[in-house]
A = this chain, B = another copy of it.
């Protein structure tokens, strides 16, 4: 069980290949930020200083490139969840992180769009979301539930997808609706074992007119 990552005498990756791959990911990230995920592949190739063929060898389909860039950012958000869990109290850690996550998705315009496009290249993305962000959110939920702040019957992945879907280009709107979801979570909270702030809608959702 020692050589799980065996390479069995296969040649190591060429240096230029790795260099181009990095350049591609970086260029793609920049272009996606600037022009959205529908930006032409040629534009990315040019920005990365490589040919079209190079792009398609590393990423057989256009969306594979999008997915690769996305995965990177997902990892960052997952890390943020773990950090919030350490730095803040349960309910605040949860709401704070959900706000951050909402902002994250809202920023990546067209990304959620691409996710829902039904393209097979994205079939694995929800799973990736769930595997990486899910556990982090699950612990946030668990801690909040243990504190009696929210109900216990909510599946992290369900909530994750819901927030993702809620996020539109209008961030203020997204935040209000997520706040409403949070109140939905608190609705069924069992009798609090610990101190429980006066029962009232969250600050944000209060701003609803």
Flag whether A80 is at the interface (Cβ < 8 A).
no
Contact size class for A? 35 or more
Q: Give residues of chain A (143-157) contacting chain B, Cβ–Cβ below 8 Å.
A: 151, 153-155
In the complex, the count of this chain's copies comes to: 2
Of the 9-residue stretches A13-21, A52-60, A129-137, A164-172, which lies at the interface with chain B? A164-172
Do residues A153 and B117 form an inter-chain contact, with CB atoms below 8 A?
A: no
- Interface contact A118-B36, CB-CB below 8 Å: yes
Across the interface, A162 reaches (CB within 8 A) one of B109, B153, B180, namely B180
Query: Does B112 lie within 8 Å of A169, measured CB to CB?
Result: no
- From the candidates B109, B162, B165, B187, name the one contacting A187 in the complex (CB within 8 A): B187
Residue of B nearest to A151 (CB): B201
Measured CA separation A176–B159 after assembly (Å): 10
